[in-house]
Amino acid sequence: MELKRVVVTGMGALTPIGSDVPSFWEGLRSGRNGAGPITRFDAAKFKTRIACELKNFDPDAYLDPKESKKMDPFTQYGLVAADEAIRDSGLRLDHLDKDRAGVIWGSGIGGLQTFQDEVRRYALGDGRPRFSPFFVPKMIADICAGYLSIRYGFTGPNFVTVSACASATNALLDACNYIRLGKVDVVLSGGSEAPITEAGFGGFSSMKALSVRNDDPLRASRPFDRERDGFVMGEGAGALVLEELGHARQRGARIHAEVLGGGMSADAYHITAPHPEGIGAGKVMLHALADARIAPESVGYINAHGTSTPLGDTSEALAIGRVFGVHAYRLNISSTKSMTGHLLGAAGAVEAIACILALQHQIVPPTINFTTPDDGIDPGLDFTFNLAQSRSLEVAMSNTFGFGGHNVSIIFRRRLE
* Parallel/antiparallel/unpaired status of strands 257-266 and 6-14: antiparallel
Q: In whole angstroms, what is the distance from residue 403 CA to residue 164 CA?
A: 6
**Catalytically annotated residue among 144, 305, 355, 406:** 305
Residue 255 lies in a domain: no
- Neighbouring CB atoms inside 10 A of 365's CB total 29
Q: In whole angstroms, what is the distance from residue 407 CA to residue 279 CA?
A: 10
Q: In whole angstroms, what is the distance from residue 98 CA to residue 92 CA?
A: 11
Domain end (from 191, 222, 250)? 250
Q: Which residues contact 417 (CB under 8 A, 6 or more apart)?
A: none
| Same domain as 106, residue 183 | yes
| Same domain as 96, residue 231 | yes
Distance of CA 349 to the CA centre of its chain: 4
Which helix H or strand E contains 104, and what residues bound it? strand 101-106
> DSSP class of residue 331?
-
Q: In whole angstroms, what is the distance from residue 190 CA to residue 130 CA?
A: 34
**DSSP of 247-274:** HHHHTT----EEEEEEEEEE--S-SSSP
Residue 287 lies in a domain: yes
Q: What is the domain extent for residue 39?
A: 7-250
Domain end (from 224, 250, 276)? 250
| Same domain as 338, residue 212 | no
| Same domain as 224, residue 101 | yes
Name which of 166, 171, 149 is nearest 158 in CA terms.
149
Q: In whole angstroms, what is the distance from residue 34 CA to residue 80 CA?
A: 19
Q: In CATH, what number is assigned to the domain containing residue 121?
A: 3.40.47.10
Residue 156 lies in a domain: yes
Annotation marks residue 342 as catalytic = yes
Q: In whole angstroms, what is the distance from residue 353 CA to residue 13 CA?
A: 8
Residue 2 lies in a domain: no
| Same domain as 317, residue 242 | no
| Same domain as 243, residue 144 | yes
Residue 103 lies in a domain: yes
Per-residue pLDDT of the chain (417 residues; tens, 9 = 90+): 789 999 999 999 999 999 999 999 999 999 999 999 999 999 999 999 999 999 999 999 999 999 999 999 999 999 999 999 999 999 999 999 999 999 999 999 999 999 999 999 999 988 888 899 999 999 999 999 999 999 999 999 999 999 999 999 999 999 999 999 999 999 999 999 999 999 999 999 999 999 999 999 999 999 999 999 999 999 999 999 999 999 999 999 999 999 999 999 999 999 999 999 999 999 999 999 999 999 999 999 999 999 999 999 999 999 999 999 999 999 999 999 999 999 999 999 999 999 999 999 999 999 999 999 999 999 999 999 999 999 999 999 999 999 999 999 999 999 887
Q: In whole angstroms, what is the distance from residue 351 CA to residue 151 CA?
A: 25
| Same domain as 297, residue 208 | no
| Same domain as 125, residue 150 | yes
**Catalytically annotated residue among 165, 256, 275, 355:** 165
Q: In whole angstroms, what is the distance from residue 264 CA to residue 244 CA?
A: 22
Domain end (from 250, 285, 314)? 250
| Same domain as 239, residue 215 | yes
Residue 1 lies in a domain: no
Residue 38 lies in a domain: yes
Q: How many domains does the chain have?
A: 2
| Same domain as 96, residue 48 | yes
CA–CA distance from 17 to each of 152, 333, 382 (Å)?
Answer: 27, 20, 24
Q: Which amino acid is at 270?
A: H
Residue 227 lies in a domain: yes
Distance of CA 259 to the CA centre of its chain: 16
| Same domain as 269, residue 239 | no
Please tell me the predicted confidence (pLDDT) of residue 415: 86
Residue 299 pairs with which residues in a beta bridge? none
Q: What angle do CA 43, 141, 291 make, to 5 degrees?
A: 110
Query: How many residues in total does the chain contain?
Result: 417
**Tens digit of pLDDT for each residue in 347-402?**
999 999 999 999 999 999 999 999 999 999 999 999 999 999 999 999 999 999 99
For residue 74, give the 3-state DSSP assignment: helix
> DSSP class of residue 122?
H
**Catalytically annotated residue among 256, 275, 287, 342:** 342
| Same domain as 283, residue 372 | yes
Annotation marks residue 165 as catalytic = yes
